[in-house]
């Protein structure tokens, strides 16, 4: 399985993707630094808002979307999935390896700039750790969702961006109903509770339900993607 992990990692990690996201992370940190040096900003409140909106609600889902839709999706699109699918390995194991490959690149790509941003903005320890836990759990939930999405949907990147921008950032912010089926809603609620800050918009879920939902989304995502993979028509 380690050989498969390495191949999946090399398939999805390209220099262009890495450079683009490192630049995105650097931009986030630059804005965080501007909060620290600004005379008008409240470091705790504005730092939390920046990390919530820019890091948790935008940067994390986009980074995870790009890498997780390609982990199995690229193999399915270019016809190389056959070299994995036709082996006597349970589909859930293949999905877990794909997720491990995705997370081993998305976690550092999202956590490091978020940590640096928190330090540069000068937020409290509560906000720092709240953000860290939220980013990790959001990574898990988004990765499980988008891996299956990439496997089954052509142009998954475009549809995934539609989900992040139109659903999560738009429709889900309009009320509790649509927010309940948004990963962002639970990640932001968790961040707000742990950071002891006011949750933005409709993000009002309690602490433990938020944790449970994010972990459950990961488990359900793995299960659904495993079933999709086992029933996949392979080129």
Partner 1 sequence: MTTALLEINKIAKWYGEVVALSGVTANIGPGLTSLLGPNGAGKSSLIRILCGLTSPSQGTVRVMGRDPRSSGEVRKVLGLVPQQERLPPGVNAIEFVTMAASLQGMPHPEVAARRAIETVELDPNDSRHLSAYSKGMRQRVKIAQAIVHDPRILILDEPLNGLDPRQRSRMAQLFIRLGAEGRCVLVSSHVLEEVQELSSTVLVLAEGKLAAEGDFHAIRQLLDDRPHRIRLRSSDPLKLASGLMGSATVSAVQTAGDNAVIIDTWSVTPFRRRLPRLAQELNVRLLEVAPLDDDLESVFRYLVARRSP
The residues that touch partner 1, with contacts defined as CB under 8 A, are 1-4, 6-7, 10-11, 75, 78-80, 82-90, 233-235
DSSP string covering 117-180, please?
HHHHHT--HHHHHHHHHHHHHHHHHHHHHHHHHHHH-TTHHHHHHHIIIIIITTGGGG-HHHHT
189 vs 225, which CB is nearer to partner 1? 225
Smallest distance from partner 1 to CB 7, Å: 5
7 vs 157, which CB is nearer to partner 1? 7
Structure tokens at 70: 């390609």
Smallest distance from partner 1 to CB 69, Å: 17
23 vs 90, which CB is nearer to partner 1? 90
37 vs 87, which CB is nearer to partner 1? 87
* Angstrom distance (rounded) from CA 231 to CA 81: 13
132 vs 232, which CB is nearer to partner 1? 232
Let me know: does 173 contact 230? Beta carbons within 8 Å: no
Smallest distance from partner 1 to CB 9, Å: 9
Smallest distance from partner 1 to CB 18, Å: 13
Smallest distance from partner 1 to CB 10, Å: 4
16 vs 87, which CB is nearer to partner 1? 87
Smallest distance from partner 1 to CB 6, Å: 7
12 vs 134, which CB is nearer to partner 1? 12
Smallest distance from partner 1 to CB 216, Å: 28
């Amino acid at each position: 399985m380690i050989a498969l992990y390495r191949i999946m990692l090399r398939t999805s990690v390209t220099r262009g993707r890495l450079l683009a996201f490192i630049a995105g992370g650097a931009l986030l940190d630059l804005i965080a630094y501007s909060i620290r040096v600004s005379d008008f900003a409240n470091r705790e409140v504005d730092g939390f808002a920046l990390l919530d909106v820019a890091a948790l609600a935008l940067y994390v889902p986009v980074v995870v979307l790009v890498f997780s839709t390609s982990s199995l999706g690229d193999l399915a699109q270019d016809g190389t999935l056959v070299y994995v699918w036709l082996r006597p390995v349970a589909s859930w194991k293949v999905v877990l390896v794909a997720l491990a490959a995705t997370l081993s690149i998305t976690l550092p790509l999202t956590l490091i700039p978020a940590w640096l941003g928190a330090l540069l903005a000068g937020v409290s320890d509560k906000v720092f750790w709240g953000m860290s836990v939220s980013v990790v759990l959001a990574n898990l939930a988004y990765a499980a969702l988008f891996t299956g999405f990439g496997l089954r949907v052509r142009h998954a990147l475009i549809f995934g961006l539609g989900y992040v921008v139109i659903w999560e950032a738009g429709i889900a912010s309009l009320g509790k109903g649509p927010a309940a089926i948004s990963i962002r809603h639970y990640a932001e609620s968790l961040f707000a509770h742990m950071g002891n800050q006011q949750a933005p918009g409709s993000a009002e879920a309690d602490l433990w339900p938020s944790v449970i939902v994010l972990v459950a989304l990961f488990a359900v995502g793995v299960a659904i993607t495993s079933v999709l993979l086992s029933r996949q028509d392979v080129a």
